[in-house]
Amino acid sequence: MNSYQEVMARKSEIMRSSVGIDYGKYARGRLAFDYEGMLADTGYAIDDIRRIQRQVAVGNTPLVELKNLSAIARSLARPGMGARIFVKDEAANPSGSYKDRRASMSAYEACRLGYPGIAAASSGNYGAAVASQACKYGLGSIIVQESFDSRGIEQPEIAEKTRACESYGAEVLRLSVGPELFYQFLLALEETGYYNASLYTPQAILGVESLGWEIVEQVEELTGKRPHTVIATNAGGGNLTGTARGLKAAGAEECSIVGASVDLQGLHMASDRDFNRKSFTTGHTGFSIPFTTWPDRSDVPRSAARPLRYMDRFVTVSQGEVFYMTQALAEMEGMERGPAGNTSLAAAFAMAQQIPEDEILVVQETEYTGAGKHPIAQLNLAKSMGIEVYRGNPEENLPGRRIVIPADPRQIQVRDIPISRLQHSYLKHALEGTDINTAGRELETQDIDFLMAETRLDQAGLMDALEIISHE
Amino acid sequence: MTVKAGTLVDIHMVLLPRGQRAPRVPEDTAAVDLEMKVKGELLHDGEKGSIVRIRTAAGRTMEGTLTAVNPEYSHGFGAPVPELGHVGPQLRERLAQLRKEEK
């Protein structure tokens, strides 16, 4: 009854009852779906979101100008360049990260629909956010984590997450490495009738729009300007999607949206051996590349996180550069914050040097830090796993083998992953689900419009890409 | 050493034995068991290493091998990392230099 195959066969049925959305209703053409309709049907406009979040002390976090770090970046740039770097201090949210914005909407929805509790499959901040928001609404919570390898070694950042979730009264299931975590999550949903507080439901993504709105309002208030560039750490894509939607709705149409991830290319996300050879548990390429190029691999049939619709640029930074910037934030700005926001901060330090000095660049989040999350804990884990850690040229970073802390701030750079490569990979995934090998000619108008919106390619660009794919 | 009912304990279980893992799982992961650990209140007196039943924080009853009693949170920081030692001094020096130039 509960074997892996049997439970996975019941997946869509369990999903439908645990999320309360009939995704089939939005299907269009052969492979399209009504994305904006799915979001609108939640019935949540921005004012509702901000009111719901304010009731549970979520959002309205400070926007902090990093004057010292900006001055140093400016000193490394050509004359007239070196934008003002601001950071949105999302660590000020109740459970210490912007994920409260997503969890607050999930908890509100679960409560409204009469579910007894909320559950999430998350080894990261979202687990603590769901457990914390469950407390606000008097709901039970179950958090399923991938937390230790076959030698029983716990990732220290995830051990800290276990502690936080348990301190909020959650039942925390700690699993060893493997994608079958989802199987265990489905069993928990089925047994308890809890609400699936997935990161990827429409309301979870709408919950992040308030962040984009706040950035526009605060930048306007502090500087009288609109943000020139906003950098969001990219993993599953919801962070970037929700923020970009909020920025645009608040009128910052011209703002450039950049996704930033820690480069962990070469490490496999489901490998027992690689599990503790990573010094970052989120905001890395192991999640961002698969989820940007195929959002619907998420735990719901159609993810509301679709970053390729909004991303103007996708950059990576090395683990060593993020550790450097984490230390720099502490010693230049007196702020100790966690890895997720510092990934965007490392990118911001380099990118600010290419942007005029009177322009505003916003690092879109911070998260809390502490035992397990701190660079000291992560670098000690890396050393114990036989990974080389030294000061030098960050080009020598080699995920799982070498962490190189830049010897000088000039060495901090971003490396672009071309949007064209992501668009191409996305289209290959989109067509995989269909029997279309003559691509362009088989698709209906609704499919063409959908693929254009998903990739931001124009019709000619889309047809060219489909032609190339059909020959591959 | 008998553990009293009502004590907070950690239990362990095998969810999928090696060789019966999900399809497309990497080789090194397929060669090991999928394990689970969960904490809860012991529902009866029990011994370490024996199969016991617990009530979890969400009120569910679960069964597994009793592995730890009132389990500690042992994650922390560890020794300071010398490879980060240069960041503060070099940036302070640069900032002081910039401030001097401004004057």
Name, in order, each residue with C-beta under 8 angstroms of B101's C-beta and a sequence gap of 6 or more.
none
Contact between residue B3 and residue B45 where contact means Cβ atoms under 8 Å apart:
yes
Burial category of A99 from C-beta neighbours within 10 Å (exposed 0-12, middle 13-18, buried 19 and up):
buried
Contacting B residues, span 2-61, partner chain A, CB-CB under 8 Å:
15-16, 20-22, 25-26, 28-29, 32-40, 56-60
In chain B the domains, ranked by start, together with CATH numbers, are 1-71 (2.30.30)
From the list B36, B76, B98, the residue facing A173 with the nearest CB is: B36
Nearest C-alpha neighbor of A348 from the set A419, A404, A414, A261: A414
At which of A202, A227, A255 does a domain end? Answer: A202
Q: Distance between terminal CA atoms of chain A?
A: 42
- Give the Cα separation of A211 and A215 in Å (integer): 6
Domain CATH for A346: 3.40.50.1100
Same domain assignment for residues A175 and A213: no
**What residue type is B62 in one-letter code?**
M
Q: How many residue contacts between A and B have a Cβ separation below 8 Å? A: 155
pLDDT exceeds cutoff 70 at B84: yes
- Residue A439 is predicted with a pLDDT of 58
With CA atoms as reference, the chain B residue closest to A192 would be B60
Q: Locate tokens 């070694």: which residue?
A: A153
pTM equals 0.97
Measured distance CA(A267)–CA(A156) in Å, rounded = 19
Task: Quote the minimal CA–CA distance from B2 to chain A in Å.
Answer: 25
| Co-location of A79 and A225 in the same domain | yes
Mean pLDDT in runs of 10 for chain A (472 residues)? 90 90 94 97 96 98 98 98 98 98 97 96 97 98 98 98 98 97 95 96 97 98 98 97 98 97 96 97 96 95 97 98 98 97 98 98 98 98 98 98 98 98 96 68 89 97 91 81
DSSP-derived secondary structure for A166-212: HHTT-EEEEEESSTTHHHHHHHHHHHH--EE--TTSHHHHHHHHHHH
Asked whether residue A157 falls in the same domain as residue A216, the answer is no
Interface test with B, best of A171, A389, A402 (most B CBs within 10 A): A171
Q: How far apart are CA A217 and CA A225, in angstroms?
A: 10
- Give residue A84's region: left, alpha or beta (phi > 0; psi -120 to 50): beta
Instruction: Please give the Cα distance from B84 to B25 (Å, whole number).
Output: 37
Query: Regarding beta strands A313-317 and A415-416, do their DSSP bridges make them parallel or antiparallel, or are they unpaired?
Result: antiparallel
**Which structural domain range is residue A434 located in?**
419-470
Check if the beta carbon of residue A194 is closer than 8 Å to that of residue A118.
yes
Q: What pLDDT, on the 0 to 100 scale, is given for residue A470?
A: 83
Residue A203 corresponds to which tokens in the numbers above? 């309301």
Whether residues A184 and A323 share a domain: the answer is: no
Interface test with A, best of B11, B13, B14, B29 (most A CBs within 10 A): B29
Straight-line distance from the first to the last Cα atom of chain B, in angstroms, rounded to the nearest whole number:
73
Predicted local distance difference test score (pLDDT) of residue A440: 60
Q: Do A224 and A331 belong together in one domain?
A: yes
Residue A287 is predicted with a pLDDT of 96
Residue A9 lies in a domain: no
Q: Does one domain contain both A148 and A257?
A: no
Q: Within an 8 Å CB–CB cutoff, is residue A407 touching chain B? A: yes
pLDDT one-digit tens code per residue, B9-53? 999 999 999 999 999 999 999 999 999 999 999 999 999 999 999
pLDDT at B1: 84
Residues A380 and A295 in one domain: yes
The alpha-carbon gap from B4 to the nearest alpha carbon of chain A, in Å, equals 21
Q: How many structural domains is chain A composed of?
A: 3
Contact A72 B98 (CB under 8 A): yes
CA distance A207 to A197: 12
